[in-house]
């Protein structure tokens, strides 16, 4: 387990265990871990409660099962030094493993099946999700909490806002009726009155800010963004199209140096942006990533299969053009503004979920709180709710 994951699991599991300990359902709760993965959170929670571990990947489920067997035998594998540490076996509650793709309909169906399962003795359910992705934390988990009487408690940390579905981006002819944003009546009303929409690029922005970066890392990241943007302009200047183009992907981090789909200042016109920005660079050498633009571009052009069409001399000639003299400064300004706006967009998405819970009425207790230090885990907000008995 990575240091970041260990920190998140310890903080989140502690919160869940403490809340359930003071809950009227503490002796009758089964925890349903959505997106359980390798089961780090699941196995921690089984010290107190029986659990159902749900993941869409069979490989993850197999790994979680093996880890559970090691825990019961008192064996723990430390991945950093690759050795087994002896420990006293700890008593654990049972785990039921489910491999399934979760959405609003399948999650409700899973809960109904557990309600009628004679082997599931604790029939009050607590839904938990550590960094539940996209619609999973919204249309699946929150609506299941609202619609299923047996789901008494929920604790979810959402992430991957760029993967939320919205009505404005619905494919023509689709029969989809549930969308990840907006889910609250308040925001739905605002969306109708003010034609408010959050397309993919805006939701992608919610995942990108500099809050967790050191000063040195920010400077390095911005410099990589500058070189990436200038590379797009280079291809446009010589009317070249990358041979390794790909469809637009999910969010990239500021540290990657390869953010997709972000036109910068005057570096890309709208037409250039559409044609040239959607390509992936394979792993470049440290020298190319850390150095100036020309060595970076030479290596990047080779990665894109264009080495025979663009010489180093042409790249050097392009780099001296007057129109790009202040390009690096322009890129820095654009991305700093984007970072400032990121929290605004994220706050709107979070408030939509908070308002959704508030609209359930007086029969629940709920809160949204900062669970993680943002330097350790940027997606740091948790929603906790409990139905009043």
What does the domain layout of the chain look like in residue ranges? Answer: 3-184+359-387, 215-338
* pLDDT, tens digit (0-9, with 9 covering 90-100), for 95-115: 999 999 999 999 999 999 999
Residue 337's alpha-carbon distances to 265, 273, 379, in angstroms, are 12, 19, 20
**pTM of the complete model:** 0.76
Q: How far apart are CA 259 and CA 278, in angstroms?
A: 9
Quote the pLDDT of residue 81. Answer: 36
Quote the pLDDT of residue 194. Answer: 86
Domain topology for 3-184+359-387: Rossmann fold (3.40.50)
* pLDDT, tens digit (0-9, with 9 covering 90-100), for 49-62: 999 999 988 887 77
Q: With cut-offs at 50, 70 and 90, classify the pLDDT of residue 370.
A: very high
370 SS3 class: strand
Quote the pLDDT of residue 107. Answer: 96
Quote the pLDDT of residue 152. Answer: 97
Residue, of 367 and 75, whose pLDDT is higher? 367
* pLDDT, tens digit (0-9, with 9 covering 90-100), for 186-239: 999 988 888 888 888 888 888 777 665 666 677 888 888 899 999 999 999 999
Residue 258 scores a pLDDT above 80: no
Residue 386 scores a pLDDT above 80: yes
- CA torsion, ordered 258, 261, 265, 266, to nearest 10 deg: 100
Residue 185 structure tokens: 């009546």
Quote the pLDDT of residue 279. Answer: 63
Sheet with 95-99, edge to edge strand ranges: 95-99, 51-55, 29-34, 124-133, 151-159, 381-387, 364-370
Query: How many Cβ atoms are within 10 Å of 59's Cβ, its own excluded?
Result: 10
Chain length of the chain: 389
Residue 342 scores a pLDDT above 70: yes
User: Percentage of residues in the chain with pLDDT exceeding 70?
Assistant: 81
Residue with tokens 């490989």: 59
Quote the pLDDT of residue 211. Answer: 65
Q: How far apart are CA 140 and CA 310, in angstroms?
A: 49
Q: With cut-offs at 50, 70 and 90, classify the pLDDT of residue 271.
A: very low
């Amino acid at each position: 387990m990575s240091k970041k994951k260990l920190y998140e699991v310890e903080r989140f599991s502690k919160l869940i265990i403490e809340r359930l300990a003071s809950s009227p359902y503490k002796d009758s709760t089964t925890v349903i871990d959505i997106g359980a993965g390798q089961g780090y959170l699941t196995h921690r929670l089984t010290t107190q409660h029986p659990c159902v571990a749900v993941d869409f990947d069979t490989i993850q489920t197999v790994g979680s099962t093996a880890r559970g067997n090691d825990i019961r035998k008192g064996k723990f594998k430390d991945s950093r030094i690759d050795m087994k540490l002896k420990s006293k076996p700890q008593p654990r509650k049972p785990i039921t493993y489910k491999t399934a793709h979760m959405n609003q309909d399948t999650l409700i169906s899973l809960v109904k099946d557990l309600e009628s399962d004679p082997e599931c003795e604790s029939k009050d359910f607590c839904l938990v999700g550590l960094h539940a992705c996209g619609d999973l934390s919204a249309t699946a988990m929150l609506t299941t909490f609202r619609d299923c009487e047996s789901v008494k408690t929920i604790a979810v940390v959402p992430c991957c806002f760029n993967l939320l579905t919205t009505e404005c981006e619905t494919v023509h002819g689709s029969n989809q009726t549930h969308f990840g944003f907006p889910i609250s009546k308040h925001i739905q009303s605002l969306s109708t009155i003010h034609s408010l929409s959050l397309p993919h690029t805006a939701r992608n922005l919610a995942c990108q800010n500099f809050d967790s970066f050191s000063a040195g890392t920010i400077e390095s990241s911005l410099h990589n963004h500058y070189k990436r943007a200038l590379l797009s302009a280079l291809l446009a200047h010589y009317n070249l199209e990358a041979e390794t183009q790909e469809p637009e992907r999910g969010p990239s981090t500021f540290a990657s140096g390869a953010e997709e789909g972000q036109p910068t200042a005057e570096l890309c016109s709208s037409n250039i942006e559409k044609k040239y920005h959607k390509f992936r660079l394979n792993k470049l050498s440290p020298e190319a990533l850390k150095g100036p633009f020309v060595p970076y571009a030479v290596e990047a052009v080779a990665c894109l299969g264009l080495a025979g069409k663009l010489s180093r001399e042409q790249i050097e000639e392009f780099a001296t053009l007057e129109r790009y003299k202040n390009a690096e400064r322009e890129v820095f300004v654009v991305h700093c503004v984007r970072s400032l706006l990121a929290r605004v967009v994220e706050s709107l998405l979070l408030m939509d979920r908070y308002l959704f819970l508030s609209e359930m009425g007086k029969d629940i207790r709920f809160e949204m709180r900062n669970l993680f230090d943002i330097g350790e885990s940027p997606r740091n907000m948790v929603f906790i709710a409990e139905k009043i008995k």
